[in-house]
């Protein structure tokens, strides 16, 4: 932690224009496909407890809140004061959403061990170092129930040299240095080390982004 390449704390300009930046890096398709992912591709049922790692401004939590109903709960974790403030303000009228300050690279409070049916992280996993990604996988393993689902929305693995020119501009000019490294990251095999088996994968925006479903086998 403390690596200057890491991009996990969103503040200032990025926090103020969070939705607009997400739309930009997904070639203005984020609003369209995130609803599809939350409503159709994420296995969430009534009464489920869902952990969102990096809650952002709370948009995804709100999309899922109706699916878990009054018997379930969405718990959003973040470490950015600016994003926590935005998320709390946006979700204040939703009784089944909790927003908590927590660094997901660190152990979660014991109250959350084996508590969640589903966990998800959207467009943030690439911003961590490889070692921190493994810390996160290990921490998620502890808070998910056996058979729970872990969803990762992020850049797809690909040959950077053969990627479209506009995507290279995005990675070179607007992303953290770890983003390019993530394109060649062996996500499936690393996740397997922590008991996560890939059970579904969808790609979006001409194959540049992936939504991968991992099932935990304890």
pLDDT, tens digit, 9 for 90 and up, residues 177-190? 899 999 999 999 99
The domain ranges of the chain are 12-216
Instruction: Please report the pLDDT score of residue 28 as a whole number.
Output: 72
* pLDDT < 70 positions in the chain: 1-25, 27
Q: Architecture of 12-216 per CATH?
A: 3-Layer(aba) Sandwich (3.40)
pLDDT at 139: 98
pTM of the model: 0.90
The 10s digit of each residue's pLDDT in 56-106 is 889 999 999 999 999 999 999 999 998 899 999 999 999 999 999 999 999
With contact defined as beta carbons under 8 Å apart, do 99 and 62 qualify? Answer: no
pLDDT for the residue numbered 9:
52
């Amino acid at each position: 932690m403390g690596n200057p390449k890491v991009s996990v704390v969103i503040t200032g300009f990025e926090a103020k224009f969070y939705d607009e930046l997400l739309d930009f890096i997904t070639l203005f398709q984020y609003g369209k496909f995130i609803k599809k992912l939350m409503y159709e591709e994420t296995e969430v049922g009534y009464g489920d407890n869902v952990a969102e790692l990096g809650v952002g401004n709370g948009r995804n939590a709100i999309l899922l809140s109706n699916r878990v109903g009054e018997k379930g709960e969405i718990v959003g974790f973040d470490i950015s004061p600016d994003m926590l403030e935005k998320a709390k303000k946006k979700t204040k009228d939703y009784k089944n959403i909790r927003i908590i300050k927590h660094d997901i690279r660190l152990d979660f409070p014991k109250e959350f061990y084996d508590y969640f049916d589903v966990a998800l992280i959207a467009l943030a996993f690439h911003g961590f170092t490889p070692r921190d990604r493994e810390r996160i996988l290990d921490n998620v393993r502890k808070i998910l129930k056996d058979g729970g689902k872990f969803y990762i929305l992020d850049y797809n693995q690909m040959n950077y040299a053969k990627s479209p020119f506009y995507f290279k501009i995005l990675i070179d000019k607007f992303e953290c240095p770890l983003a390019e490294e993530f394109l060649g990251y062996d996500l499936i095999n690393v996740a397997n080390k922590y008991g996560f088996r890939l059970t579904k994968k969808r790609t979006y925006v001409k194959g540049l982004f992936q939504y991968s479903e991992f099932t935990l086998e304890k």
